[in-house]
Structure 1
Amino acid sequence: MSINCDVAVLGGGTGGYIAAIRAAQLGKDVIVVEQDKLGGTCLHKGCIPSKSLLRSAELYAQMKDSESYGIETKGVSLAFPKVQKRKAAIVDQLHKGVQYLMRKHKIKVIQGRGRIIGPSIFSPKSGALAVELEDGEMETIVPANLIIATGSRPKMLPGLAPDGEFILSSDEALEMSSLPKSMVIVGGGVIGVEWASMLKDFGVEVTVVEAASQLLPNEDQDIARELRTLLERRGITVLTGAMILPETLKTEAGAVSVTARLDEGEILLSAEKLLLSIGRQANVEEIGLENTDIALKDGFIRVNDHMQTTEPHIYAIGDCIGGLQLAHVASHEGIAAVEHLAGEPSHKYNPLFVPRCVYTRPEVASVGMTEQEAREKGMKLKIGKFPFSAIGKALVYGEKDGFVKIIEDGDSGDIVGVHMIGPHVTDLIGEAALAQVLDATPWEISRTVHAHPTLGEIMGEAALAVDGLSMGI
């Protein structure tokens, strides 16, 4: 038996279900095939559960420091099972919300493992899906267009694989029933530093090992240096330019040890657990790509500006195509793909317009090019920086660390990039992202009235600082 539809989406994560909703809004008959739970990695193993844990960790740290706010407390303690229970409740609520959206838009969801099949009696071209249902039965879906949204999974280090006890990926770490006393984190990218910040606030001794010369290798050097300083001030050990030697791994007596190689020599690291956070790889195996002419590049599905693969009726979006592996990127890619296949005016997202957020304490957020990237392009730059220590609302919050940095193209006057580290900057980055889209200049931001006292005032001050005119310092 086969089912015909206008659009089939293979994968019900953030990009997949957003694409399905947009297709339904355009009058398409849509089927989503998901082998696990709607919402995908972001909802169940990434953004949402990790941010729930981070919020609990942040609040716990603030409560232990409550005397600095004039509030005396006694006996503040952490009940980690309740932290996990709260996380699960948030995920469950949002999962139900996604299920409701599928019903609201009359999108058929088929629970099962989907695989692309080649030309057959069902379809003269590849792109039909053979779906193995939970009961073992098979279903065939024949769409006019297919969108692949199979996401990604944690990348493994050769010779170092999660065992669920001593060595964890972020997937296993999210499900810990209790906290270890110590953790070595391999990888100082976004996931690694978020876990480092969270675990330290929970009272865990943390060491971060990063192969690159800085934490957050893709971010501005000034931001990376500041983050390292602030994490080390909190007692987190940071090793950069360090390579883990998997062959030295030992697990015994309730602990794990491994050697890291640095320029100055080798160092033995030991902790109760080790967390691997070295990036993510695309889920492109066992989905039937060999039955198509779809091309891969560096392990990711190759697409054009409209998200079309090398088979024009098959699109791919999200983590499985590489680039910026972010939920909000996957959503925009899904919308772009659907609008193109529907013949609508299709927007193309520019990676330089995409905000990037890191939910450490303090937070990091950025949009556009780093100073280093801009200089490599030969741009003549003007740069303005302004510290949170000169912002009244930051002092009221008791969170004065960090700054905002605005980079201007000295020839055109346009903003090249905005980089932030400090309190709630993941909420402030929206103004900078809008400025990028509108080709705004620092002068225009400085002429925008920012309410006082707010954290957002720092955008106006940093914009003035580009021309040496800031009022606050």
Structure 2
Amino acid sequence: MAQSYDVIIIGSGPGGYVTAIRSAQLGLKTAIVEREHLGGICLNWGCIPTKALLRSAEILDHANHAKSYGLTLNGTMTADVKDVVARSRGVSARLNGGVAFLMKKNKIDVIWGEAKLTKPGEIVVGAPSKPAVQPQNPVPKGVLGEGTYTAKHIIVATGARPRALPGIEPDGKLIWTYFEAMKPDFMPKSIVVMGSGAIGIEFASFYRSMGVDVTVVELMANIMPVEDAEISTFARKQLEKRGLKIITEAKVSKVDKGANSITAHVETKDGKVQQITADRLISAVGVQGNIENLGLEALGVKTDRGCIVIDGYGKTNIPGLYAIGDVAGPPMLAHKAEHEGVICIEKIAGVPGVHPMDKAKIPGCTYCNPQVASVGLTEAKAKEQGRDIRVGRYSFAANGKAIALGEDQGMIKTIFDKKTGELLGAHMVGAEVTELIQGFVVAMNLETTEEELMHTIFPHPTLSEMMKESVLDAYGKVLNA
């Protein structure tokens, strides 16, 4: 007889395991199915371990500029790639164990295997097919396994995987995805990075800090094309100052493989082609939802462009079936998945006051050097919508804390509706902006106007003071510039 639950969640990434915890908190009998590793891609191969790598790169960058802080290092600072990777993997292992603890603490059953929907309210779990990346840990003890399971509500949270371009498919040796780029067994002398979204730019930044010759190829006119053009242009200049080579409005049309190197044929918009030879190529051209082999087609689940179609509460067109996170469409961000999962399960449980997520208020962060963070409309998007706007800017070069830190290259840009004072967007580039952006996210969620931001007292000396100065600048009241 099939084991029955109120809620079964397929996938234990940030969206899946957070939803499971909230489900258990609401008194629902909950199980989560995982085929590879608790915590999903984000915890094991994405958000967390990349930040550990980037932290090592940051320390190395500071050490290489110690003289500018009045410090002299005795000896040469070098990076040991095995130790850098080992630290990153150790961080992931610690958090992986943390998710297992949270499942146990909240009395959530973990079902180990690969789930397939057989009919509404039922899944069959089989042995995991050979994964693209082997699990970090062996199969946990004390978990359930193969069999048939039923639930009133089934939530698909299977995440996404790297997108591959035809003819330039990753091979794990010469053409890498973020999986291989995250755990190199040697440090290449040169790399071509195909794509300049968050993943591509973060790895480009990391490898440049490690002394690698890095070339970034981007199809669009600007790197990090979802960002405000002014911020993107500023970031590009700073990255190029660090020695990155960036080619925009171009594509890698072909890759020739050698014994231990690649030659990328880079075609620009005018049709000219240049050949760039490097040790490795990192394919960072986006991700695609994991919708295959779930039984979606047989059930008639509606999909669009490789993602499951949902309403504002995670519902699919099949009663009792839901989807959250990357598999449910962009923006494909861990924090979006978590919040989307909470909305979904609270709606299922009948929690009053649940409302759909406002995707315009989801922040985005890129942890390169310099960091980039944003929320809301870019200046171009605001103008496209016909908004009459005020734009404020403030430079890190005028901020005392930034100067004291030796991090005086950056800017903060705010965009307001001229008539109402509504904060429409905030965009930042510079040191620690990924930690600052939440202030503007909170302000937007509270429908804060420019007047309230101007009357907020920011501590001195801090980087956060620049947020207020940017607001003041939008209204011709800037004080320290």
Tell me if the contact between 1:443 and 1:464 (Cα under 8 Å) persists in the aligned partners: no
Tell me if the contact between 2:24 and 2:30 (Cα under 8 Å) persists in the aligned partners: yes
What whole-Å deviation, never above 9, does each CA across 1:295-326 have from its counterpart, x for those lacking one? 00111100001110001311100000112100
Tell me if the contact between 1:151 and 1:319 (Cα under 8 Å) persists in the aligned partners: yes
Match of 2:243 among 232, 235, 241: 235
User: Could you tell me which residue of structure 1 aligns to residue 437 of structure 2?
Assistant: 429
Match of 2:126 among 125, 132, 149: 132
Match of 2:291 among 284, 291, 295: 284
Query: 1: distance between equivalents of 2:187 and 2:163?
Result: 23
Alignment of 1:107-126 (within 5 A): 107-118=108-119, 126=120
User: Could you tell me which residue of structure 1 aligns to residue 231 of structure 2?
Assistant: 223
Structure 1 residue 347 displacement after superposition: 3.0
Instruction: Look up the equivalent residue of 1:430 and give its one-letter code.
Output: Q
Query: 1: distance between equivalents of 2:334 and 2:80?
Result: 30
Structure 1 residue 291 displacement after superposition: 2.7
Indicate yes or no: 2:109 matched with 1:102. Answer: no
Structure 1 residue matching 2:338: 3-state secondary structure: helix
Query: 1: distance between equivalents of 2:172 and 2:347?
Result: 43
Tell me if the contact between 2:160 and 2:326 (Cα under 8 Å) persists in the aligned partners: yes
Query: 1: distance between equivalents of 2:409 and 2:351?
Result: 46
Indicate yes or no: 2:469 matched with 1:461. Answer: yes
Tell me if the contact between 1:383 and 1:408 (Cα under 8 Å) persists in the aligned partners: yes
Structure 2 residue matching 1:161: 3-state secondary structure: coil
Structure 1 residue 348 displacement after superposition: 1.8
Structure 1 residue 144 displacement after superposition: 0.6
Query: 2: distance between equivalents of 1:442 and 1:406?
Result: 10
Structure 1 residue 174 displacement after superposition: 1.0
- 4+ aligned runs moved over 2 Å, structure 1: 133-138
User: Could you tell me which residue of structure 1 aligns to residue 319 of structure 2?
Assistant: 312
Query: 1: distance between equivalents of 2:187 and 2:299?
Result: 46
Query: 2: distance between equivalents of 1:419 and 1:443?
Result: 19
Alignment of 1:22-421 (within 5 A): 22-73=22-73, 74-118=75-119, 126-133=120-127, 138-246=146-254, 249-264=255-270, 265-345=272-352, 346-421=354-429
Instruction: Look up the equivalent residue of 2:82 and give its one-letter code.
Output: P
Query: 1: distance between equivalents of 2:451 and 2:366?
Result: 27
Q: TM-score, normalised by structure 1?
A: 0.96
Tell me if the contact between 2:261 and 2:277 (Cα under 8 Å) persists in the aligned partners: yes
Tell me if the contact between 2:112 and 2:145 (Cα under 8 Å) persists in the aligned partners: no
How many residues align structurally?
464
Structure 1 residue 253 displacement after superposition: 4.3
Instruction: Look up the equivalent residue of 2:126 and give its one-letter code.
Output: E
Structure 1 residue 436 displacement after superposition: 0.6
1:77 to 1:137, Cα distance in 2 relative to 1, 3 A: closer
Structure 1 residue 293 displacement after superposition: 2.6
Structure 1 residue matching 2:169: 3-state secondary structure: coil
Structure 1 residue 349 displacement after superposition: 1.3
Structure 1 residue 137 displacement after superposition: 7.3
Structure 1 residue 438 displacement after superposition: 1.0
Query: 2: distance between equivalents of 1:194 and 1:370?
Result: 21
Structure 2 residue matching 1:413: 3-state secondary structure: coil
Structure 1 residue 380 displacement after superposition: 0.5
Query: 1: distance between equivalents of 2:36 and 2:121?
Result: 21
User: Could you tell me which residue of structure 1 aligns to residue 135 of structure 2?
Assistant: none
Instruction: Look up the equivalent residue of 1:96 and give its one-letter code.
Output: G
Structure 2 residue matching 1:219: 3-state secondary structure: coil
1:86 to 1:137, Cα distance in 2 relative to 1, 3 A: closer
Structure 1 residue matching 2:8: 3-state secondary structure: strand
1:229 to 1:307, Cα distance in 2 relative to 1, 3 A: same
Query: 2: distance between equivalents of 1:291 and 1:4?
Result: 22
Indicate yes or no: 2:7 matched with 1:7. Answer: yes
Structure 2: which 5+ residue stretches go unaligned?
129-138
What RMSD in Å do the two structures reach over aligned CA positions? 1.3
Structure 2 residue matching 1:141: 3-state secondary structure: strand
Structure 1 residue matching 2:17: 3-state secondary structure: helix
1:66 to 1:297, Cα distance in 2 relative to 1, 3 A: same
Deviates more, 1:251-260 or 1:141-150: 251-260
Structure 1 residue matching 2:27: 3-state secondary structure: coil
Query: 2: distance between equivalents of 1:353 and 1:231?
Result: 27
Tell me if the contact between 2:157 and 2:324 (Cα under 8 Å) persists in the aligned partners: yes
Query: 1: distance between equivalents of 2:355 and 2:48?
Result: 27
Tell me if the contact between 1:209 and 1:242 (Cα under 8 Å) persists in the aligned partners: yes
Instruction: Look up the equivalent residue of 1:97 and give its one-letter code.
Output: G
Structure 2 residue matching 1:178: 3-state secondary structure: coil
Structure 2 residue matching 1:378: 3-state secondary structure: coil
Determine what percentage of the aligned residue pairs are the same residue: 38
User: Could you tell me which residue of structure 2 aligns to residue 121 of structure 1?
Assistant: none
Tell me if the contact between 2:19 and 2:345 (Cα under 8 Å) persists in the aligned partners: yes
Tell me if the contact between 1:133 and 1:139 (Cα under 8 Å) persists in the aligned partners: no
Structure 1 residue 457 displacement after superposition: 0.5
Tell me if the contact between 2:201 and 2:368 (Cα under 8 Å) persists in the aligned partners: yes
Instruction: Look up the equivalent residue of 2:344 and give its one-letter code.
Output: A
Query: 1: distance between equivalents of 2:103 and 2:286?
Result: 31
Structure 1: which 5+ residue stretches go unaligned?
119-125
